[in-house]
C-alpha cells in the first residue's frame, strides 16, 4: 500500500519539478532575448547617432576652417577683405563649404555694428551679446560655438560659429560669424535610415532647442528633455513627444554644444525578440502539455504492464525523433568477430541523417557490415580507427576531407560502447569554406596594405605592435628594429615614445588624431585611428604614416617664389613686409636702431614712354643692381612695384650710417646707365625713416618713409629727406 502511495506521489512531483524547470529556463531565455534585442537596438541607434554626429562635426569643422581662412586673408588684406570676395563662386568660402548650402555669414566691426552679410539676415548691432563680448575680451585664435535662438519665421535656432578678427597692430577689429541650420543634418539625411516611426534629432546642449525628423516629418521643439539611461550611450525621453515608445541613443559634440540623438521604436527594436519569445512560449507550452499528458497516462495506467510498455515505447519514439532531428549523422556499430579478430562492424542503428548520408532507407541498412556497405570506409582507414578505439577505450575526434566522391569536410567522433562503437559524423564543409574565405580575405587585405605607399601598423590595447605592412617593415628595417610582438615604448625608444605619448593617449580615449612629425630632413603626416569592439570599447589603434617631405619642400619653394620680384630678383612687396615685420620685432627685442628707405626713379615715365617697356625694364634691373651694390651685404632691398623700391637697414650703430648710405645712393644714380648701347640719365629721390622701439606698426613706418620721399620730390628730386628727429647730417641735394 505504501509503495503504491509512493509511486502516486513521486511521478506527479517529478513532473511538476520538470515543468517548473522548463518554464523557468524558457522565461529566462525570453528575458535574455529581450535584453539582447534592447542592447542590439541601442547599439544600432548609437552607431547611427555617431554617424549623424560625425557628419555634423565635419561641416562645423569646415565652418571653423572657413572663419580661420577669412581671418588670415582679412589680416593679410589689412582689413579690406569683404564678404562678396570671400563668398564669391569658386572663392575661398566655396573651397570649404558646398555652395548649395548658401551658408549665412556676417562681418561685424569692432563696435559690434554689422559691416556686411551674405545669404541671410543678421542683427544690426551685437555689441551687447555675450559671444561678441567674449571675442572682444579674448586674445586667442579659437572660434566660439553656441546655439542661439533666432527670430520667428525661420528655424527656431542655429549653430553659430564666430571668430575674433584683429587689425595690423593685433587689436580687436570685429568678428566673422557663420550660421549653420541644424535641419541640414536632419532633413533628407540618407545616412541615418530608421524603421517607420524612428526619430533623428539634433539638440542644443545649452538651450534645449531641437530639430528632428520622424519619418518624413521635420519639426522643431524647445520642450524636449532627455536624461541619462542605464549606459552612457543611452538617452531617456523625459517629456512627451508623440506617444510612440522608443529607445534612444545619443552622441554628444561638446566642442559645438550639440547632441545627436537617434530613436528606434520599441516595436521595431524588439520585433525579433517578441517573435522568438512567442515561439519559445509556444514550444514550452506544447512540451508542458506533453509532459502533463505523459504523467497522467503513466499515473492512470501504472497498474498495467501493457500501458507501461506503451509509455516506454512512446518515450523511445520521442528519443528517436530527437536523434533524427540532430545535425549529426549517428551510427551504432557492433564489432563482427572473425578468425583473425574483429574483421568488420555491423550497423546496429542509424538516425535519419546518417541513412541519408549512406543513400539508403534506414530499414535496408540495419544489420549490414559497414566494410561491404561503404567500401570507402575500409580503404580510408575508418574500420581500423574503430578497432583502435574499441581496443583502447580512448575516444577519437578529428576533422578531415573526403578522398572519394564529392569533396567534403567531415567532423568525426568515435566513442567506445558495449561490444562496439558509436560514431557521429557532421558535414562541416560550409564552415571550412568560410574559414578559407576568411583567410583569402585576410591575404587580399594584406596584399592591399603591403602595396600602399603609406606606412600602416596596428597597436593593441597593451600598446604592442600586432601588424604592419611592407612599407612600415622597410622603415623598421632601416632603423634596425623588430616591431611585431614588442611594446611601442621599446620599438620607438624612450625619447620618441614620450613625444608621441599625448597623441597615443588621445587615440586610446577614442579620438581620431592627426599630426605632423619631422625626422631630420623627412616630414610625415601621421594619423592614429582608434579600433573599437562591438561594445564601442577602444581595443587598440591603427597608425597611418605618409611621407610628405616632397610636399613640404615644394611648399617652401613656392613660398620663396611668392616673395621674389620676377623682373629684378629682389624681394617683392610680400617679402619686404615679412622682412620689415621681423626686423622691427628684433629691433625692439635687442634695443637697436634700424632704418627704412622709400625711393623711386626720377623721370622714369619719360624713359619708358620714349624708348618702350623693354628699355624701361632694363633700366629697372640696372637700377636695382646699382642700388644693391651701394648698400651693405646684409641690407634688404625690395621692389614694391613700378619704379618704387625700399631698403631695410638693420643693426645701425648711429643714424649717420643710414644717412651716408642714402647720400651714396643719390650720387650713384646720377651716373649714366648704358642699356645695350642706349645711354640713359636719371636720378633718384629717397625718404629715410628710423625706428628703435616706438609703438609703431610696419605700415605706419613705411608711410612715414613715403612722406619723407614726397618731401624730397617737393625739394626738386635727386636728393633725400630723413626723419629730423634722427638726422645728424643735413639732408640736402648737394651731395658730393
Residue 223 has phi, psi (to 5 degrees) of -115, -5
CB 19 within 8 A of CB 11: no
Q: Show the 3-state SS of 433-487.
A: HHHHHHHHHHHHHHHHHHCCCCEEEEEECCCEEEEECHHHHHHHHHHCCCCCCCE
pLDDT, residue 645, reads 97
Q: Residue 357: is its pLDDT beyond 80?
A: no
DSSP class of 723:
-
Q: Which of 578, 604, 566 is nearest to 713 (CA)?
A: 604
| pLDDT tens profile 510-532 | 899 898 887 777 888 888 999 88
Per-residue pLDDT band for 103 (boundaries 50, 70, 90) equals: confident
Mean pLDDT of 120-144: 86
Cell output for 14:
517529478
Contact 159, 258 (CB under 8 A): yes
Q: What pLDDT digit, counting tens, does each position of 625-640 carry?
A: 999 999 999 999 999 9
The pLDDT of residue 668 = 94
**SS3 letters across 276-345:** HHHHHHHHHHHHHHHHHHHHHHHHHCCCCHHHHHHHHHHHHHHHHHHHHCCCCEEEEEEEEEECCEEEEE
- For 185-250, the three-class secondary structure string (H helix, E strand, C coil) is HHCCCCCCCCCCCCEEEEEECCCCCEEEEECCEEEEECCCCEEECCCCCEEEECCCCCCCCEEEEE
Q: Which three cell numbers stand for residue 500?
A: 608621441
State mean pLDDT over 343-356.
83
Q: Exposed, middle or buried: residue 479 (CB in 10 Å: 0-12, 13-18, 19+)?
A: exposed
Q: Which three cell numbers stand for residue 87?
A: 563668398
CA atoms of 55 and 42, how far apart (whole Å): 20
Give mean pLDDT, residues 97-108: 85
Cβ proximity of 453 and 525 under 8 Å: no
pLDDT > 90 in the chain, percent: 24
Under a CB-based contact definition with an 8 Å cutoff, are residues 636 and 618 in contact? no
What's residue 662's pLDDT? 96
Would you say residue 480 has pLDDT above 80? no
Q: For position 153, what pLDDT does the model report?
A: 45
Most confident by average pLDDT, 28-37, 364-373, 512-521, 646-655:
646-655
Residue 679: the pLDDT is 92
The overall average pLDDT reported for the chain is: 83
Q: What does DSSP say about strands 683-691 and 720-722: parallel, antiparallel, or unpaired?
A: parallel
pLDDT for position 188:
55
Centre a 10 Å sphere on the Cβ of residue 736 and count the other Cβ atoms it contains: 4
Is the pLDDT at 394 greater than 70, yes or no?
A: yes
* Torsion 442-445-447-450 (CA) sign: negative
End-to-end, the C-alpha distance of the chain in Å comes to: 150
Determine the average pLDDT of the residues in 202-229.
85
| pLDDT tens figures, 583-592 | 999 999 999 9
- Is pLDDT of 194 > 60? yes
> Mean per-residue pLDDT for 690-708?
93
Query: What average pLDDT does the segment 105-116 reach?
Result: 90
More confident residue, 150 or 177: 177
Provide CB contacts within 8 A for 395, sequence distance 6+. 389, 413, 414, 415, 416
Q: Does pLDDT of 2 surpass 80?
A: no
What is the structure's pLDDT at 530? Answer: 92
Angle separating helix axes 305-324 and 271-300, nearest 10 degrees: 160
d(CA 147, CA 736): 71
Q: What is the pLDDT of residue 579?
A: 94
Over residues 434-454, the mean pLDDT reads 72
Q: Does 730 have pLDDT greater than 50?
A: no
Does residue 33 contact residue 271 with C-beta atoms inside 8 Å? no
State the Cα–Cα distance between residues 686 and 72, nearest whole angstrom. 33
Is the alpha carbon torsion for 356, 361, 367, 368 positive or negative? Answer: negative
Element (H, E) at 409: strand 409-417
d(CA 330, CA 333): 10
Residue 586, C-beta contacts closer than 8 angstroms, at least 6 positions apart? 592, 650
Q: In the structure grid, which three cell numbers stand for residue 640, read together?
A: 614694391
Distance (Å, whole) CA 430 – CA 63: 51
Is it the case that residue 691 has pLDDT exceeding 90?
A: yes
Instruction: Quickly state the pLDDT bin for 311 (edges 50, 70, 90).
Output: low
Contacts of 339 (CB under 8 A, 6+ apart): none
Distance CA 251, CA 233 (A): 7
Least-confidence region, from 381-390, 614-623, 711-720: 381-390
Residues 6+ apart with CB under 8 A from 216: none
Beta bridge partners of 459: 465, 541
What are the DSSP calls for 126-177, one per residue? -TTSHHHHHHHH--S---EEE--B--TTS-SB-EEEEEEEE-TTS-EEEEEE
Closest among 686, 676, 675 to 708, alpha carbons compared: 686
Instruction: Write the CB contacts of 169 (distance below 8 Å, at least 6 apart in sequence).
Output: 697
Distance CA 48, CA 50 (A): 5
Q: CA 476 to CA 660: how far, in whole Å?
A: 61
CB-side exposure of 373: number of CA atoms within 13 Å? 23
Top mean-pLDDT range of 169-183, 236-250, 612-626: 612-626
Per-residue model confidence (pLDDT) at position 721: 95
Which of 260-274, 372-386, 566-580 bottoms out in mean pLDDT, i.e. has the lowest? 372-386
Prediction pTM value: 0.40
Whether pLDDT at 305 is above 60? no
- With H, G, I as helix, E, B as strand and everything else as coil, classify residue 254: coil
The phi and psi torsions of 594 (rounded to 5 degrees) equal: -135, 165
Strand locations in 570-642 (E): 593-602, 636-641
Question: Regarding predicted confidence, which is higher, 377 or 664?
Answer: 664
Residues 250, 234: Cα–Cα separation, whole Å: 6
**Cβ-Cβ contacts under 8 Å for 504 (sequence gap 6 or more):** 463, 488, 528, 541
pLDDT at res. 736: 44
Contact criterion met (CB below 8 Å) for 483 and 476: yes
State what percent of residues in the chain have pLDDT above 70.
Answer: 90
Please report how the helices 698-714 and 573-590 are oriented relative to each other, as an axis angle in degrees rounded to 10.
Answer: 110
Asked if the model's pLDDT at residue 10 lies above 70, the reply is no
Please give the Cα distance from 248 to 41 (Å, whole number): 9
C-alpha 704/C-alpha 117 separation (Å) is 35
Q: What is the pLDDT of residues 656-684, one digit of tens each?
A: 999 999 999 999 999 999 998 899 999 99
Quick check: 732 pLDDT over 60? no
Average pLDDT rounded to a whole number, residues 535-552: 83
- pLDDT of residue 91 exceeding 50, the answer is yes
Residue 639 and residue 572 in contact, taking contact as beta carbons nearer than 8 Å: yes
Amino acid at each position: 500500500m505504501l509503495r503504491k502511495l509512493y509511486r502516486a506521489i513521486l511521478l506527479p512531483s517529478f513532473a511538476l519539478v520538470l515543468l517548473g524547470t522548463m518554464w523557468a529556463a524558457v522565461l529566462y531565455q525570453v528575458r535574455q532575448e529581450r535584453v539582447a534585442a534592447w542592447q542590439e537596438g541601442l547599439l544600432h541607434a548609437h552607431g547611427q547617432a555617431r554617424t549623424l554626429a560625425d557628419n555634423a562635426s565635419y561641416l562645423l569643422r569646415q565652418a571653423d576652417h572657413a572663419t580661420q581662412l577669412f581671418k588670415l586673408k582679412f589680416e593679410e588684406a589689412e582689413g579690406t577683405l569683404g564678404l562678396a570676395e570671400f563668398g564669391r563662386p569658386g572663392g575661398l568660402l566655396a573651397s570649404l563649404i558646398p555652395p548649395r548650402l548658401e551658408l549665412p555669414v556676417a562681418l561685424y566691426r569692432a563696435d559690434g555694428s554689422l559691416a556686411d552679410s551674405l545669404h541671410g539676415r543678421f542683427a544690426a548691432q551685437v555689441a551687447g551679446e555675450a559671444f561678441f563680448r567674449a571675442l572682444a575680451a579674448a586674445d586667442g585664435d579659437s572660434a566660439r560655438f553656441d546655439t542661439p535662438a533666432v527670430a520667428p519665421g525661420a528655424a527656431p535656432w542655429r549653430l553659430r560659429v564666430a571668430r575674433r578678427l584683429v587689425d595690423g597692430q593685433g587689436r580687436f577689429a570685429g568678428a566673422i560669424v557663420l550660421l549653420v541650420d541644424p535641419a541640414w543634418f536632419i532633413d533628407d539625411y540618407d545616412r541615418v535610415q530608421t524603421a517607420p516611426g524612428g526619430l533623428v534629432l539634433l539638440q542644443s546642449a545649452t538651450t534645449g532647442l531641437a530639430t528632428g525628423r520622424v519619418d518624413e516629418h521635420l519639426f522643431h521643439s524647445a520642450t524636449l528633455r532627455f536624461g541619462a539611461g542605464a549606459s552612457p550611450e543611452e538617452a531617456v525621453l523625459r517629456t512627451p513627444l508623440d506617444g510612440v515608445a522608443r529607445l534612444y541613443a545619443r552622441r554628444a559634440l561638446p566642442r559645438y554644444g550639440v547632441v545627436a540623438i537617434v530613436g528606434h521604436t520599441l516595436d521595431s527594436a524588439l520585433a525579433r525578440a517578441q517573435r522568438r519569445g512567442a515561439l519559445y512560449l509556444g514550444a514550452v507550452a506544447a512540451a508542458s502539455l506533453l509532459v502533463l499528458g505523459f504523467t497522467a497516462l503513466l499515473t492512470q495506467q501504472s497498474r498495467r504492464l501493457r500501458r507501461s510498455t506503451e509509455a516506454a515505447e512512446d518515450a523511445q519514439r520521442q528519443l528517436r525523433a530527437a536523434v533524427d532531428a540532430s545535425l549529426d549523422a549517428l551510427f551504432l556499430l557492433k564489432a563482427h568477430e572473425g578468425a583473425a579478430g574483429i574483421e568488420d562492424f555491423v550497423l546496429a542503428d542509424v538516425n535519419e541523417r546518417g541513412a541519408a548520408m549512406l543513400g539508403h532507407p534506414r530499414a535496408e541498412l540495419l544489420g549490414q557490415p559497414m566494410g561491404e556497405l561503404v567500401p570507402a570506409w575500409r580503404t580510408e582507414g575508418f574500420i581500423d580507427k574503430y578497432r583502435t578505439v574499441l581496443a583502447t577505450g580512448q575516444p577519437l575526434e578529428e576533422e578531415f576531407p573526403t578522398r572519394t566522391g564529392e569533396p567534403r569536410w567531415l567532423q568525426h567522433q568515435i566513442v567506445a560502447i558495449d561490444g562496439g562503437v558509436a560514431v557521429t559524423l557532421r558535414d562541416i564543409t560550409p564552415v571550412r569554406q568560410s574559414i578559407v574565405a576568411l583567410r583569402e580575405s585576410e591575404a587580399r587585405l594584406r596584399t592591399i596594405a603591403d602595396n600602399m605607399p603609406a606606412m600602416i601598423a596596428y597597436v593593441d590595447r597593451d600598446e604592442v605592435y600586432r601588424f604592419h605592412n611592407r612599407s612600415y617593415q622597410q622603415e623598421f628595417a632601416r632603423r634596425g628594429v623588430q616591431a611585431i610582438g614588442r611594446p611601442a615604448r621599446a620599438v620607438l625608444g624612450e625619447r620618441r615614445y614620450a613625444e608621441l605619448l599625448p597623441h597615443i593617449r588621445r587615440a586610446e580615449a577614442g579620438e581620431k588624431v592627426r599630426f605632423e612629425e619631422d625626422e631630420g630632413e623627412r616630414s610625415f603626416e601621421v594619423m592614429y585611428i582608434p579600433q573599437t569592439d562591438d561594445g564601442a570599447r577602444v581595443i587598440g589603434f591603427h597608425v597611418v604614416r605618409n611621407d610628405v617631405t616632397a610636399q613640404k619642400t615644394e611648399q617652401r619653394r613656392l613660398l620663396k617664389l611668392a616673395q621674389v620680384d620676377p623682373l629684378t630678383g629682389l624681394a617683392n612687396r610680400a617679402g619686404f613686409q615679412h622682412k620689415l615685420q621681423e626686423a622691427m620685432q628684433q629691433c625692439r627685442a635687442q634695443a637697436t636702431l634700424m632704418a627704412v628707405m622709400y625711393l623711386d626713379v626720377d623721370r622714369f615715365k619719360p624713359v619708358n614712354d620714349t624708348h618702350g617697356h623693354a628699355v624701361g625694364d632694363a633700366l629697372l634691373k640696372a637700377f636695382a643692381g646699382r642700388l644693391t651694390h651701394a648698400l651693405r651685404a646684409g641690407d634688404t632691398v625690395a621692389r614694391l612695384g613700378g619704379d618704387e623700391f625700399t631698403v631695410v637697414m638693420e643693426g645701425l650703430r648711429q643714424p649717420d650710417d643710414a644717412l651716408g648710405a642714402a647720400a651714396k645712393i643719390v650720387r650713384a644714380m646720377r651716373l649714366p646707365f648704358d642699356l645695350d648701347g642706349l645711354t640713359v640719365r636719371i636720378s633718384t629721390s629717397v625718404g629715410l625713416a628710423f625706428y628703435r622701439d616706438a609703438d609703431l606698426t610696419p605700415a605706419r613706418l613705411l608711410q612715414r618713409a613715403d612722406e619723407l620721399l614726397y618731401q624730397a620730390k617737393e625739394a626738386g628730386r635727386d636728393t633725400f629727406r630723413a626723419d629730423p628727429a634722427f638726422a645728424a647730417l643735413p639732408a640736402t641735394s648737394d651731395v658730393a
